[in-house]
Amino acid sequence: MVKEQALLSTEIVPNGSMSFSVRVRRRLPDFLQSVNLKYVKLGYHYLISHGFYLFTIPALLVAFSAELGALSKQDFSQLWKEFEFDLFSILACSGAIVFIATLHFMSRPRAVYLVDFACLKPPEELKRSKREFIEHCRQIGKFNDASMEFQVKALERSGLGDETYMSPAILKNPPVQTMKEARAEAELVMFTVVDELFEKTKTRPKDIGVLVVNCGLFNPTPSLSAMIINHYKMRGNILSFNIGGMGCSAGIISLDLANDMLQATGSTYALVVSMENITTSFYTGNKKSMLLPNCFFRLGGAAILLSNKRKDRRRAKYQLTHIVRTHKGADDKSFKSIYQEEDENMVKGLSLSPDLVEVAGDAIKTNITTLGPLVLPLSEHLLFLMTLFCKKVLRKKEMKPYIPDFKLAFEHFCIHTGGKWVLEEMQKNLELSEKHVEPSKMTLHRFGNTSSSSIWYELAYLEAKGRVKRGDRLWQIAFGSGFKCNSAVWKALRTVKKPKANNPWLDCIDAYPVEVPDFQRIN
C-alpha cells in the first residue's frame, strides 16, 4: 500500500462551482519510463564491461566439469606415473619467464603518486566582499563611470561570493604594482603553501629532486623557482623549472613536466607550485575587454608533492593515470583570445576576446575527444560507434551525435573555475548533476578564480566533505591562454578522511554548498 501511494499523486481542481474536488492521477507510467531508461543503461554498461567474465567463466566451468567426468581414477593414476621432470627444461622455462617479466617490469612507466597537497588560505585582512571591492575601485579614481558600471554588472553575474581575497598591493590606494610588491605577494603564496606541505608530509627541502613552479604573468629574475631554492636552501643538483605565460591550465602542464622528470630520474620527490600574481595582473584602465580579469581573479596558490618511490604508495592519496594536453595556438583566433597588451593609454592588462567562448568550447571538445578513449568503458565506445555508423553509413543525418557518459568513467570532477558560464556549459554538455559541479561552483564562490591552482581548491573541497573513497577516479580539467585545454586523471589509493587541519575549507565547509543565484545585486 505504501509503494502504491508513492506512485499516486493528488491534484485539487475546480469543479465549476465554488467547491473543489480531488482528482487522483496515476504517475506509474512516467515513473517506470524514467527508472527503466536509467537502469537499462546501467545494465547494458555492466553487461558489456563484465561480458567476458559472464560468458567465458560459465563455459569453462561446464567444459572442465565434463572433462573431469570423463576421466576415471585409473586415468589420473596413469597421468601421474607418466609425468617426468626434466630439470633442464624447467630451468630454461623459468629463466625465460623471469627474463621476460623483468624486461616488462623495467620497461613500464614508473608509477607517480600524489603524496599530498596544500592550498593557500590567505590572511583574513585580505578578504573583501564584492561591495568593498567596488568601493575600493571607486576610491582608486582611475575608472570612469562606464567602467565602474561594467565591473559592477560583471561581479553581479560572476558567481563569486563575498569572502574572496585580494593582493595586499592592490588593496592600497593607489595600488602599488612594483616588482617589490609583486615579489612580496609571490613569497606570501609560495612559502606559505610549501611550509604547510612540508609539515603535512614530514618532508625535508633536501629531499626534493625536481621543482616546477608556474605563474602566468610574473616572471622575475632570479626566477620564482630560484626564490624557493634560495629560501629553503635546497640541494645543488635539483632539477628546477619555471613556467611562465601559460595561463590557467599551466598547473597540469607542470604536473606533466614533473611526471616526465620522475620517469627519467631515480627515486625522488617532485614539488609543484601553481599560482598567479594578482599584483601584476590588475588593470587600471577603462577598456572593457581588459576589465573582466579584475572581477574574477583572486589571490590563491597550491603546492603538490609527487613521488615515484614504491614505498610511498602506502601513504599517498592518489596515483596519476593519465595526462592529456590540447594546444590550439596555431589558430590565430585561439592565440589572440587571451592576450596581454597595453590599451590606447599604454596601461597594461589582459584582454579577453569576444571569441573566447567559441575558442574555449573548441579546445575543450578536442581535449575530451582525446581523453575519452583512454578512460571510457567499452559500452560507451560501442554506443558512440553505433551512432557514428548510423549517421555516416545509414545516412541518418537527423540522428543526434552521441555524447559519452563521463559519469561512468569518473566519480569526481574538478573543472577550472574560469567563470560561471563555463561551469554551466560544461555541466550541460557533459550532462553532469549539481553534485558533480558542486566543488567547482563552490570554489568560484568562496575563493574566486585562482588561476592554475583552482583545481586543487576543488579537490580540497571534496576531501573536506569526506567524499573521496578508495578506488574513486578523479578528473581535473583546466583551460587558459594559448588557447590550451589540459586534463589530469587520478585514482584514489585510499579513502581520504575528513581533514582536521591544513585545509582551506575547514572554517566554512559546513555552510556549503550554498545557492548561487544567476543575478546577485551589489548593494
Which residues carry out catalysis? 248, 327, 412, 416, 445, 449
Using an 8 Å Cβ cutoff, are 300 and 186 in contact?
Answer: no
CA 215 – CA 522 distance, rounded (Å): 31
CA 353 – CA 266 distance, rounded (Å): 45
Using an 8 Å Cβ cutoff, are 476 and 439 in contact?
Answer: no
* HSE value, Cβ hemisphere, 13 Å, CA-based, for 247: 25
CA angle 499, 194, 502 (to 5 degrees): 15
CA 42 – CA 379 distance, rounded (Å): 10
Q: Which residue has the cell 588593470?
A: 283
Q: Sheet holding 113-119: strands in order across?
A: 239-244, 208-215, 269-275, 301-307, 113-119, 318-327, 484-492, 473-480, 412-415
CA 252 – CA 256 distance, rounded (Å): 6
Using an 8 Å Cβ cutoff, are 301 and 120 in contact?
Answer: yes
CA 260 – CA 116 distance, rounded (Å): 19
